[in-house]
Amino acid sequence: MVEQAIVFAVIFTALILFATSVWRYEIVALLSLLTLVFTGIVSGAEAFSGFGHPAVITVAGVLVVSRGLYNSGLVDFLARSIADFKAGTAGQLFVLVGLVALFSGFMNNVGALALFLPVALRMARHHSAPPSLYLMPIAFGSLLGGLMTLIGTPPNIIIAMYRAEVGLEPFKMFDFTPVGLGAAVLGVLFISFLGWKLLPVRKGQEEENIIAVDDYITEVLIPYGSKSEGKTIKEIIASSRAEILIAGLVRKKSRYPVPSIHEVVSGGDILIVEADPENLQDLVEAAGLELAATRRSGRELLGSEEVNLVEAVVTTDSPLLGRTARDLNLRWRYGVNLLGVARQATRLRERLGSIRFRAGDVLLLQGKQGTLSETLTQLGCLPLAPRLLRLGQPRRIFLSLAILVVAVLAATFNLLPIQVALVGAALGMVVTGIITLRQAYHSIELPIIILLGAMIPVGEALETTGGAELIGRGLLFASQHLPPLGAIAILMVLTICLSNIINNAAAAVLVAPIALSMSQVLGISPDPFLIGVAIAASSSFLTPIGHQSNILVMGPGGYLFSDYWKLGLPLTIIVLLTAIPLIGLFWFGS
C-alpha cells in the first residue's frame, strides 16, 4: 500500500508539472523515474531499461525515416502541385488535410505538418483567406493520420510493444487501420466540409491582445545624417504608405513606450515598430532608415541573391526556448539576423534582444540563402515560406519510397521486428545519401526519447504495485451498468483528457496498464481496450499543448488557447462515435 501510494503521488505530481509546464516534460519524466528509484520501487538495474525498449528504438527510427522522406522531395513535389488548387475552401481543405493525414500515417506527425504548413499559408494568401481557416485543420489532420498505422504515432508503437510485454504478439503494421482509418476518414470529411466553419476568423481583428500573423516587433535605427533625423515620428510615418505602429522609442539608455507622434527623433535613436515585412521595407526605403539588427538599409538589407528573409515558427523542441537573441548570439553563432518577432495573444514591448522565445513564436530571420534551411534545422524552427521547400530528384524520391516500402513489408509479414525494420530503413537512407549522418542525429528528438525511456519504468511501476488494477476496478465500477464497450468508452475519455494536458506518449504509457487490468477483471481480450487507448491518446484536439502539431500552428494561425475546443470538441466526439463501434466490430472476440 505504501509503494502504491508513492507511485500515485509521483504520477499525480508529474501530471501537474506536465500540465503547468513548470519544467520541460523530459525533465519531469526523469525526476519521476529517479524518485521511484530512490524510494526503492524501481531497482537501479532497471532504472534505464526503458531506453532500450523496442518502442523507443522504433520511434527513433520513424523520426530518421521521416527526415529522409523530407530530403527526397517526395512530399514537396505533391505539395507544390496543390499549392494553387482553385476549388473553394472546402475542396482545398479536403485535398490538403487528406494529404497531410495520408503522409502522417507513415511518417512523424510534425514532419508531415511541417511540409504542408507553407502550402497552407500560400493557399490562404492566394485566395485572400485568413490562415486561421487552414492551419488548425492540417494540424488536426496530422493527428488523424497517425491513427491509421503502427508507425503513425508514438502511442501506437507504445501500445503495440506493451501487448508483447504481456505475453501476446505485438500489433502489426496495419492492425490499427480498421479503426484508425474509419476515424481518420470521417474526421477529415468533417473538418473539410463543416468543421472549418467553426474556426475563428483572425484576419483584420483589432483586439489589443492579438498580433496579426505577419506583424513583427522590429527595431529601426535613425542613422546620423539621414533625412529622418530631426523629424517627428508622424512625419517619418507619413513619408511612406507603410501601415506600421510605433511601439516604443529607445534613446541612449532610456526607453519610452508608445512615444508621442510629435516626438522629434535624433540620430542614433531606435524606433520599435510593429509591421509586416512589406510595410517594413517601404518604411526603411522611404525614410532612409536602417534595421538595427544589421545596420544595412534598403532592398539589399531585406533580400538579395546571397541574402534572404524567412519567416519561421519556433518548435517545442527548439534550443531557442526560454532564451533571448542576445544570449544565443544568433548573428555570430548561427549566421542569421533576427529582424522581428510575432507572438499570438501577447503584445510584445521588449527590445528584440530581450525577448525570451516561446514555442509557436514566429521569427523574421535574415541569412545566407545557401545555408538558411540547415540553419533553421539547427535552431529548431519550421519555415513558413514555400521557397525553402525542395523539389527533389526523381531517383531520390523513388529510392526513399522503395526503402520505406521494403521496411513496411518486412514488418507486416513478420520477416523482421518493426524496430529492426525501421532502423534498417534509417540506415539505408544514410548509406544511399538521402540523409546525412548529421541530419539523422538531428532528426532524433531527444526530448521524446528521454520522455519515453523514463516513463516506461514509471508505467511498469504503476502496474507492479497494483495501482493500475485499482484504477481499472474503479473505472469498471463507474461503468458497471454498461456493456464492455461502455467501459472502453470511459477509458478512452480518461485517456483523451490526459493526452490534452500531457504528452500523448506519456498518456499511453500510463493508461496501457489500466486497460490491461480492466480486461483481466472482465475476463476478455485486452486488445479492444489497448486499441481504444491508442486511438484516444492520439486524439489531442482540445488544447494547443496536447500535441506539438497544435502549438506549432498557434502563432501563424493567430489562435487563442480557447479556440482549439471549438473545432476540437466536435472532432473528438466524432472520433469516439466512430472508433467505439469499429472496435466492437473488429476487435471483440479477437
430-467 pLDDT per residue, tens = 999 888 898 888 888 888 899 889 999 999 899 889 88
Q: What is the pLDDT of residue 141?
A: 96
pLDDT digits (tens, 9 = 90+) for 117-161: 877 887 887 777 888 899 999 999 999 999 999 999 999 999 999
* Number of other CB atoms surrounding residue 513 within 10 Å: 23
Partner residues linked to 217 by β-bridges: 274, 341
> Helices 154-165 & 446-464, crossing angle to 10 degrees?
40
CA distance 68 to 423: 12
Mean pLDDT value across residues 267-295: 78
Instruction: Answer yes or no: is pLDDT of 489 > 90.
Output: yes
pLDDT of residue 202: 61
C-alpha span between 287 and 237 (Å, rounded) = 8
Alpha carbon distance 499, 506 (integer Å): 8
Condensed to tens digits (0 to 9), the pLDDT of residues 537-569 reads 999 999 887 888 888 888 788 788 888 999 999
Q: Report the distance separating Cα 426 and Cα 437, nearest Å.
A: 10
Distance from first CA to last CA of the chain, Å, rounded? 35
Angle at CA of residue 178, ends 177 and 180, nearest 5° = 55
Report residue 237 as a C-alpha cell.
510615418
- Return the number of other C-beta atoms located less than 10 Å from residue 245's C-beta: 14
> What is the share, in percent, of the chain residues with pLDDT greater than 90?
33
pTM as predicted: 0.75
Give the DSSP letter of residue 353. G
Residues 418 and 164 sit within 8 Å (Cβ to Cβ):
no
Structural domains of the chain, with CATH: 2-47+74-202+445-587 (no CATH), 216-388 (3.30.70.1450)
pLDDT tens, 428-439? 999 998 888 988
**pLDDT, the chain, mean:** 83
Tell me how far CA of residue 2 lies from CA of 9, 193, 456, in angstroms: 11, 53, 21
For residue 300, pLDDT beyond 50: no
The larger pLDDT score, comparing residue 159 to residue 78, is at 159
Does 96 or 210 have the greater pLDDT score? 96
Q: Does the structure show a pLDDT above 80 at 492?
A: yes
**Triad 298, 301, 305: Cα angle to 5°:** 115
Angle formed by the axes of helices 504-522 and 154-165, nearest 10°: 40
Is 298's pLDDT higher than 60?
A: no
463/337 Cα distance (integer angstroms): 51
CB 132 within 8 A of CB 138: no
Give residue-wise pLDDT tens across range 321-379.
888 877 887 777 887 878 778 776 555 666 677 788 988 888 888 777 777 777 888 88
Residue 153 C-alpha cell reads as 504515432
Q: What is the pLDDT of residue 288?
A: 86
SS (H, E, C) 433-444: CCCCHHHHHHHC
